Amino acid sequence: MSIRGAAAYKNVGNQSGAEFANPHRLIQMLLEGALEKMLIAKSALERGDILGKSENISWAIRIIGGLQASLDADKGGEIAETLGSLYAFVVTHLSKANAENAPEKIQECIDIIKNVKEGWDGISEEAEKIFQQQAQSGD
């Protein structure tokens, strides 16, 4: 299989995973994607690949912006408010990291999103039960 073919296959696999994921898993996938893009950006910066750094930071910012936009303050209350503040900080900090070529700022954002993801991962079983109940009740 060619490299291009392998990349296309991976893309189909990612799309299929998203297509069949419950909302909890979709958030996990977005957090994983943001982390991946920040790690790639940091590595690119350390190699002197400014274009690669900028592209991956931009992608991470778009993902985190999407996460932020999906928050529901009415249902999420204080947790949604806290996550919104964290996401806003990360977006601002990544923008500064991009402008200043500051790998330490990218790392700070990685650490924050890792903590959010660990918390999100910790509620997997509870979230699965909720989604199963909603599916059974038709919500």
Residue 25: CB atoms within 10 A of its CB come to 17
| Residues 31-58 pLDDT 10s | 999 999 999 999 999 999 999 999 999 9
Residue 134: both structure tokens together: 């909603």
Number of alpha carbons in the 13 Å side-chain half-sphere of residue 73: 6
- Structure-block tokens of residue 133: 């109940």
* Amino acid 98: pLDDT: 97
Instruction: Write the single-letter amino acid at 10.
Output: K
Q: What is the pLDDT of residue 17?
A: 54
Q: Calculate mean pLDDT across residues 110-122.
A: 95
Q: In sequence order, which residues have a C-beta less than 8 Å from that of residue 52 and are 6 or more positions away?
A: 40, 41, 44
Q: Which domains does the chain have, with CATH numbers?
A: 22-137 (1.20.120.340)
Mean residue pLDDT of the chain comes to 85
